[in-house]
Structure 1
Amino acid sequence: MLTFTGAAGGDAGNVLLLHAFPVSAEMWEPQLAPLAESGYRVIAPYVYGFDSSPSRPGWSMDDYARDLARLIEALGWSSATVVGLSMGGYQALAFYRLYPELIDSLVLCDTRANADSPEVLAGRQQFRNAVMEKGSEEATARMVPNFFAKETYASNQPLVEKTRESIVRQAPEEISEAMRAIAERKDSTELLTEIACPTLIVNGMEDTVTTQEVAAKMHALIPGSKLELIPEAGHLSNLDQPAMFNGILLEHLRSL
């Protein structure tokens, strides 16, 4: 069973929140209470080895998707809206590939469908080597400056520091394992054209990791999808502009 954090909510529907790399499920804290207060049952599971979640060496996105299906069954849910940001988006697509019948809708945030190029794969391996050599602090130095809009990074030090702390407390081995799983993920480009559930794509306008152009390409391939761009938001758009993110997400959920 995956370890998770969540909020009780009511009977409006079920929401599964899948977190980014290399932060923990606590990144969804600004969404948990608003969703529950709006009547939704919401769960945010942790990736293997992060915070209190059990380690699983060699895990894949498909492995994680299968455990998500077991989690939904254990909770007594028949289905859920699956919200994935960055790495969580990769997991959401893997979950749709294996269990489309368990998905009410998809919300793909600041993520991409295509597999990595050889150049990106080489960079990921270099990242893994550096983290194992220098520790989790190396991941914060490489990742955190790219997570937020310039204004947020400069002026919201409590948020930036909390994000750093979320990464530093993860073991280097678990960060490396998650990066390996990301690098080995399947290409989901062709899957996009087959998605039949309501789909929302959300992207920060200042996201330099997965740009709004990447989001637009996904939007063009997913039949009937909707694209929302959040101004003054970077890669972690749910943290950069939580009020706007929550409004967009709740509007989507209420439209189902």
Structure 2
Amino acid sequence: MQTVRGITYHMYGEGPEAVLCHPSLGLGQFLFHRIRPALSREYTVVLWDPRGVGDNGHFYPTLEDWVGDTIDILRDINKPAHLLGVSLGTWVMSRVAAVNPGQLVRSLTLIGATRGFSHGEQEIAARRQQLEHMTMREFAQNYADNTLTVYALPEVKENLVLEMGEVDKEKYLQAMQAIYTVRNEEVYRQIAVPTLVMVGVEDTRTPPAEADEVQKLIKGSEVKALPRCGHLAVLDQPQRVIHECRYFWTNGHMADD
């Protein structure tokens, strides 16, 4: 366990290249628990709970701080790194890759990326109203039921509910505010590292058509649609995600189906 900027992070493995993983809204390093063991045999896998969640739940979340934390962790580990972001993590990691501090960023992998939300303020208001009438645990159960596919293991869904159910409602909403009102087009146009955009075929939150639009904005990027996956492919089909990531990081382009 390491600390930078007061943020606790964890390192697994001793590979010469690192993989930095930033999770989705309302989730922490748990999101990557099914891919960490395999990847840490080859890479130094770096995980942390973003501000507002878990180990770092006492911090209030902002997009600027999430990006700053990632850059400082990247500098602290001082290894060339592959950035992996899921959902909210795609906002963060794309901004880190666009800055490319110290030329330490080797590649960028985005899972569940979007250009942004057209009616973000309305969605935030609707979510706030929803949370006024249920506990965070009840909301987490609803989220898991509507986000994971039938291919996710039952215990994975149970643990997701436990993890998200512990998040403070106001910090969850603040985290939502930080991304639902921000567009990503200009950031994507600035990215100059090899980029793979992955999307679950069954993703209804950031569907394959949206991934295609993201890919058009990132010069030289590729898009890979993953069958039998929804928005959280790392939980639905972790072995497929591991395969695609390892191939891309090793070869600089996506694997052929």
**Residue identity in the other structure for 1:30:** R
1:75-104 alpha-carbon deviations (Å, 9 max, x no partner): 233x41110000011111222334453421
Unaligned runs of 5+ in 2: 253-257
Aligned to 1:49: 52
**Residue identity in the other structure for 2:97:** Y
CA contact (8 A) 2:98 2:188 kept: no
Aligned to 2:184: 188
Aligned to 2:151: 152
Match of 2:32 among 13, 28, 36: 28
Number of equivalent positions: 246
Aligned to 1:161: 158
**Residue identity in the other structure for 1:147:** T
Moved more, 194-203 or 93-102: 93-102
SS in 2 for 1:228: strand
- Note the 1:70-89 alignment, pairs <5 A: 70-77=72-79, 79-89=80-90
- In the alignment, the residues of structure 1 paired with residue 221 and residue 146 of structure 2 have an alpha-carbon distance, to the nearest angstrom, of 27
- In the alignment, the residues of structure 1 paired with residue 83 and residue 205 of structure 2 have an alpha-carbon distance, to the nearest angstrom, of 21
Would the alpha carbon gap of residues 142 and 179 (structure 1) be closer, same or farther in structure 2, given more than 3 Å must change? Answer: farther
Q: Which runs of 4+ in 1 moved over 4 A?
A: none
Output the TM-score relative to the length of structure 1.
0.88
1:104 aligns with 2:106: yes
**Residue identity in the other structure for 2:242:** N
Give percent identity, aligned residues only. 22
Aligned to 2:20: 16
CA contact (8 A) 1:124 1:179 kept: yes
- Note the 1:1-256 alignment, pairs <5 A: 1=4, 2-11=7-16, 13-37=17-41, 39-57=42-60, 59-77=61-79, 79-99=80-100, 101-112=103-114, 114-118=115-119, 120-131=120-131, 134-149=134-149, 151-152=150-151, 156-185=153-182, 187-256=183-252
CA contact (8 A) 1:199 1:225 kept: yes
SS in 2 for 1:52: helix
Deviation of 1:126 after TM superposition, in Å, equals: 2.4
- In the alignment, the residues of structure 1 paired with residue 91 and residue 189 of structure 2 have an alpha-carbon distance, to the nearest angstrom, of 16
Unaligned runs of 5+ in 1: none
Deviation of 1:6 after TM superposition, in Å, equals: 3.3
SS in 2 for 1:104: strand
Would the alpha carbon gap of residues 98 and 193 (structure 1) be closer, same or farther in structure 2, given more than 3 Å must change? Answer: closer
CA contact (8 A) 2:14 2:44 kept: yes
Deviation of 1:199 after TM superposition, in Å, equals: 0.4
Would the alpha carbon gap of residues 158 and 254 (structure 1) be closer, same or farther in structure 2, given more than 3 Å must change? Answer: same
- In the alignment, the residues of structure 2 paired with residue 141 and residue 130 of structure 1 have an alpha-carbon distance, to the nearest angstrom, of 13
Output the TM-score relative to the length of structure 2.
0.88
- In the alignment, the residues of structure 1 paired with residue 40 and residue 141 of structure 2 have an alpha-carbon distance, to the nearest angstrom, of 34
- In the alignment, the residues of structure 2 paired with residue 170 and residue 99 of structure 1 have an alpha-carbon distance, to the nearest angstrom, of 31
Would the alpha carbon gap of residues 122 and 142 (structure 1) be closer, same or farther in structure 2, given more than 3 Å must change? Answer: farther
Deviation of 1:166 after TM superposition, in Å, equals: 1.3
